[in-house]
């Protein structure tokens, strides 16, 4: 079975500080991983995705994530937090298997608070 676990339901950083949101996956097959962001009262939008082309993936708004097979991790980082980064962030994995193409399993979500 495939799953993702996000460590920390709530992360608080100061403006200008490093953002690190943690995601670990469990998968017996090569995983395809996503980070989505949800701003208050909006739907989710894609930040970035890992497609096995490169282990370091760059996304929108200065975010990036590194796929580490040895650690089964896909942590999301941003060097310098901005107030506009305050949102909920979801890690997700694509489900393998016949009939599952396109289906995602989401983590529990991490709320990022940015303090002035």
Q: How far is the CB of 21 from another protein (least distance, A)?
A: 14
Half-sphere exposure of 61 (CA within 13 A, CB side): 18
Rounded-to-integer distance, Cα 53 and Cα 68, Å? 13
70-89 footprint of another protein as x/- string (CB under 8 A): --------------------
CA dist list (Å): 38 to 1, 30, 56, 69, 72: 26, 26, 22, 26, 24
Q: How far is the CB of 116 from another protein (least distance, A)?
A: 26
Place of tokens 């980070």: 35
Does 27 contact another protein by CB under 8 A?
no
* Closest CB to another protein among residues 81, 94: 94
Q: 33 to 72, contacts with another protein by CB under 8 A? A: 34, 36, 41-46, 49, 51
């Amino acid at each position: 079975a495939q799953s993702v676990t996000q460590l920390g339901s709530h992360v608080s950083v100061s403006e200008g500080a490093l953002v690190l949101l943690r995601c670990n996956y469990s998968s017996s097959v090569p995983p395809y991983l996503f980070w989505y962001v949800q701003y208050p009262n909006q739907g989710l939008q894609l930040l970035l995705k890992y497609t096995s082309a490169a282990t370091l993936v760059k996304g929108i708004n200065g975010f990036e994530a590194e796929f580490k097979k040895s650690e089964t991790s896909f942590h999301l980082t941003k060097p310098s937090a901005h107030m506009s980064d305050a949102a909920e962030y979801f890690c997700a994995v694509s489900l393998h298997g016949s009939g599952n193409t396109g289906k995602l399993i989401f983590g529990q979500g991490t709320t990022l608070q940015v303090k002035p």
